[in-house]
Amino acid sequence: MRNSSWLVGCLGCLLAFFSPSLARAGDFQVHHHDLKAKLTVESHGLEVSDRMTVERAGEISSPFHLLLNRGLELSRARLNGKDLKWAVTEGFQPRHFWKRPPYDRLDDYEIAREWTLSPPAEGWPQQFDLELAYSGAVFDSLHAPKVAYQRSFDTTTGLIAQKGAFLSGATLWLPWCGDGTFSYDLLTNTPSGWESISQGRRLDRQVDAKGRVSTKWVEVHPMTEAYLVAGPYRVRQMKHGNTTLYTFTYDNTPESLCKTYLDAAGNYLDLYDQMLGSYPFAKFALVENWWQTGFGMPSFTLLGDRVIRLPFIVHTSYGHEILHNWWGNGVFVDYEEGNWCEGLTTYLADHLYKSQESVQAAIDYRRAQLQGYLDYAVSGARDFPLREFTERESASTQAVGYGKTMMVFHMA
């Protein structure tokens, strides 16, 4: 690995080129959500109340278009204590949400229905708090990805099940009116014996007379989506400087394994604090999942129960996911310009760890990446420009988005 001060200088130049432009297309921008969410496992049920802080960008009489998961029904919409009228349509009109709709990605919104709120008689204020309440069932059962390959795993847009709950931006469990960022407060209410996790700092946790658990999460940093993950977890925590480290694991997960991950998280934060600057969030958590995943969210990672038991993960993939809190979850990606963060994270994690072993190990790693690029991308004419990479969905897209992009940063 080259001198880190040189590296950070080069990254500054590159990221100035790659910096995202999260442009709004609609007439309204949501700046903050104040949320209460209750999970009911038996019915896959979700009940949400949301007080949204909104800024109007269009005309005072513009309709307010929102997308919600088709399993959810709106029951209340109020402005200044007065009920608003609404209409709902199956599907949605893309131009209500994008100036230039991404028609190649609209399949990601198949679960959506459009709710249109009518303006009050006097029109929308410039800034206002909109109160919504909605509920229903969320259960998209696990299924194979559209294109399965060696490193793929089952996926879902969101589900609430006996083994746990997983809600993300793709679930559309929050009202969505177009691309943008927002902060949020989230008060979760989960079944007895369950714990919840989201982005942000955990401020409070209470257990009521029936054993249901209420937990308050507060995220002050602008986010592009909000996660709600919950399950029958045992929580362990430790302080590392100003950061709280957690493990959310099942009862059969050994104490020693949790300690290994907590200690490793502290070591990775020290490494990247020195290399890149202060860790941007209040916490970092390892969260165990009942199906096999390798997700990196802002301030936590969701890893499968078999994955975390692989002896090499804590020395490789775990650091990769922690680093995403700088690249991808700290500095966002504008996918219209290409996803640069996987290649950069591979360079500063996977490749770095090899370089710490020896010069030869780093050379061998780069050679393997180049060989994969030749085998999976160049062979069969499956290569493509870096700006067209959005996510890994095959061996060839991995070879380009991870390996080829990593080599671009290495050559910088």
Q: How many helices (H) and strands (E) are present in the chain, helices listed first?
A: 8, 20
Give per-residue pLDDT as tens, 247-263.
999 999 999 999 999 99
The pLDDT of residue 77 is above 80: yes
Task: Report how far residue 51's alpha carbon sits from residue 377's, in angstroms, rounded to the nearest whole number.
Answer: 48
Q: Which of 194, 212, 231 is the last residue of a domain?
A: 231
DSSP H or E segment with residue 108:
none
Per-residue pLDDT band for 151 (boundaries 50, 70, 90) equals low
DSSP H or E segment with residue 216:
strand 213-223
Q: Is 93 a domain residue? A: yes
Give per-residue pLDDT as tens, 371-392.
999 999 999 889 999 999 999 8
Q: Which of 177, 212, 231 is the last residue of a domain?
A: 231
CATH number (domain holding residue 174): 2.60.40.1730
Q: Do residue 107 and residue 215 come from a single domain? A: yes
Task: Report how far residue 151's alpha carbon sits from residue 392's, in angstroms, rounded to the nearest whole number.
Answer: 9
Q: Is 16 a domain residue? A: no
Q: Are 28 and 177 within 8 A, CB to CB?
A: yes
Residue-range definition of the domain harbouring residue 267: 234-323
Give per-residue pLDDT as tens, 333-383.
998 899 999 999 999 999 999 999 999 999 999 999 999 999 999 998 899
Across-strand partners of 216? 187, 204
Q: Do residue 171 and residue 256 come from a single domain? A: no
Q: Is 158 a domain residue? A: yes
Q: Do residue 35 and residue 123 come from a single domain? A: yes
The pLDDT of residue 307 is above 90: yes
Q: Do residue 217 and residue 77 come from a single domain? A: yes
Q: Do residue 58 and residue 200 come from a single domain? A: yes
Q: Do residue 108 and residue 240 come from a single domain? A: no
Q: Do residue 227 and residue 348 come from a single domain? A: no
Q: Do residue 61 and residue 171 come from a single domain? A: yes
Per-residue pLDDT, 336: 85
Task: Report how far residue 183's alpha carbon sits from residue 198's, in angstroms, rounded to the nearest whole number.
Answer: 12
Per-residue pLDDT, 396: 94
Q: Is 9 a domain residue? A: no
Q: Do residue 220 and residue 267 come from a single domain? A: no
Q: Do residue 339 and residue 403 come from a single domain? A: yes
Mean residue pLDDT across the chain = 92
Q: Are 402 and 345 within 8 A, CB to CB?
A: no
Q: Do residue 133 and residue 75 come from a single domain? A: yes
CATH number (domain holding residue 296): 3.30.2010.30
Q: Is 259 a domain residue? A: yes
Q: Is 20 a domain residue? A: no
Per-residue pLDDT, 144: 85
Q: Is 10 a domain residue? A: no
Would you give the DSSP letter of residue 248? E
Mutual orientation of helices 4-18 and 255-276 as an angle, nearest 10°?
A: 80
Per-residue pLDDT, 21: 38
Instruction: Quickly tell me which residue has 């879902």 as its tokens.
Output: 156
- As a 3-state breakdown, the chain gives helix, strand, coil percent values, each rounded to 5, of 30, 35, 35
| Other beta carbons within 10 Å of 313 | 20
| Total of domains in the chain | 3
DSSP H or E segment with residue 47:
strand 45-56
Q: Do residue 167 and residue 289 come from a single domain? A: no
Q: Is 18 a domain residue? A: no
Task: Report how far residue 331's alpha carbon sits from residue 341's, in angstroms, rounded to the nearest whole number.
Answer: 9
Read off the tokens for 309: 């038991």
The pLDDT of residue 23 is above 50: no
Q: Which of 191, 206, 231 is the last residue of a domain?
A: 231
